[in-house]
């Protein structure tokens, strides 16, 4: 599906499950925006959402079957909670590989990702950077699992503004892989990350 090899994350289709997931992201944000003070009939909203979940569950494959499918071919980049077009938790962040070996993406985060008033949750920044460093390893050389991750918070990361997320593999020493990354807003680094990864992968279900 990704015709350009430098597109490192799955591109959402405007149809199929991806369109439904995009709508689910709207629901998440709208529920939080509405909140307890809204005069919406929330019990009716709950009924409508439960009906959608029931309908989907009636048409879903067995969990084991789905786990095999999501770890095969293009499925691998379609389901994660950072970039996945099938995962409504994902903002989603799209990442592109650059010729200098680094990767980059731009994302705007709304209310559901809030930590301090008006700013991104520090743990959400950690989630984005952990994932981005992992993808940077895939782009730059050998990849693996996170062994240690250090985040430094330099200034608050704003909600509702374009954030640039970068990652780059910086060293490979035997099975040890090191990668770094940043989240910036308006040209200033808000969060930086250093990760140590170990070149191993858990088996895929089959």
Interacting span for its own copies (CB under 8 A) from 40-48, 93-101, 165-173, 180-188: 40-48
Q: Does 104 participate in binding its own copies (rule CB under 8 A)?
A: no
Which H or E element spans position 171? strand 162-173
Beta strand ranges found along 116-161 (DSSP E): 145-153
Kindly report the length of the chain: 206
Grouping H, G, I as helix, E, B as strand and the rest as coil, residue 76 is helix
Nearest approach, Cβ of 184 to its own copies (angstroms)?
A: 17
Going residue by residue from 55 to 94, which x/- string records binding to its own copies, judged by CB under 8 A?
xxxxxxx-x--xx-xxx---x--xxxxx---xxxx-----
Q: Other CB atoms closer than 10 Å to residue 189's CB: what's the count?
A: 15
DSSP 78-110: TS-TTT-TT-TT--PPP-EE-TTSEEEEEEE--
Q: Does 17 participate in binding its own copies (rule CB under 8 A)?
A: yes
Grouping H, G, I as helix, E, B as strand and the rest as coil, residue 145 is strand
Nearest approach, Cβ of 66 to its own copies (angstroms)?
A: 6
Q: Which of 118, 162, 175, 186 binds its own copies (CB under 8 A)?
A: 118
Count residues binding its own copies (CB under 8 A): 92
Q: Does 3 participate in binding its own copies (rule CB under 8 A)?
A: no
Residue 198 · residue 145 · CB < 8 Å: yes
Q: Which of 106, 108, 147, 171 binds its own copies (CB under 8 A)?
A: 147
Which CB atom, from 38 or from 99, has the smaller least distance to its own copies?
38
């Amino acid at each position: 599906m990704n015709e350009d090899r430098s597109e490192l994350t799955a591109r959402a289709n405007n149809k199929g499950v991806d369109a439904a997931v995009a709508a689910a992201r709207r629901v998440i944000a709208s529920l939080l925006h509405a909140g307890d003070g809204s005069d919406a009939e929330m019990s009716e909203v709950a009924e409508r959402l439960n009906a959608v979940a029931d309908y989907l569950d009636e048409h879903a494959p067995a969990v084991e079957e789905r786990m095999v499918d999501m770890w095969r071919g293009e499925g691998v980049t379609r389901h994660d909670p950072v970039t996945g077009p099938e995962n409504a938790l994902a903002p989603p962040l799209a990442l592109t590989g650059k010729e200098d070996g680094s990767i980059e993406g731009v994302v705007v985060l709304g209310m559901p990702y809030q930590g301090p008033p008006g700013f991104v949750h520090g743990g959400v920044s950690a989630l984005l950077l952990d994932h981005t460093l992992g993808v940077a390893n895939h782009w730059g050389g050998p990849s693996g699992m996170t062994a240690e991750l250090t985040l430094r918070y330099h200034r608050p990361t704003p909600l509702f503004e374009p954030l640039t997320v970068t990652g780059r593999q910086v060293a490979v020493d035997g099975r040890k892989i090191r990668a770094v990354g940043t989240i910036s807003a308006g040209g200033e680094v808000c969060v930086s990350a250093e990760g140590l990864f170990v070149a191993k992968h858990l088996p895929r279900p089959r």
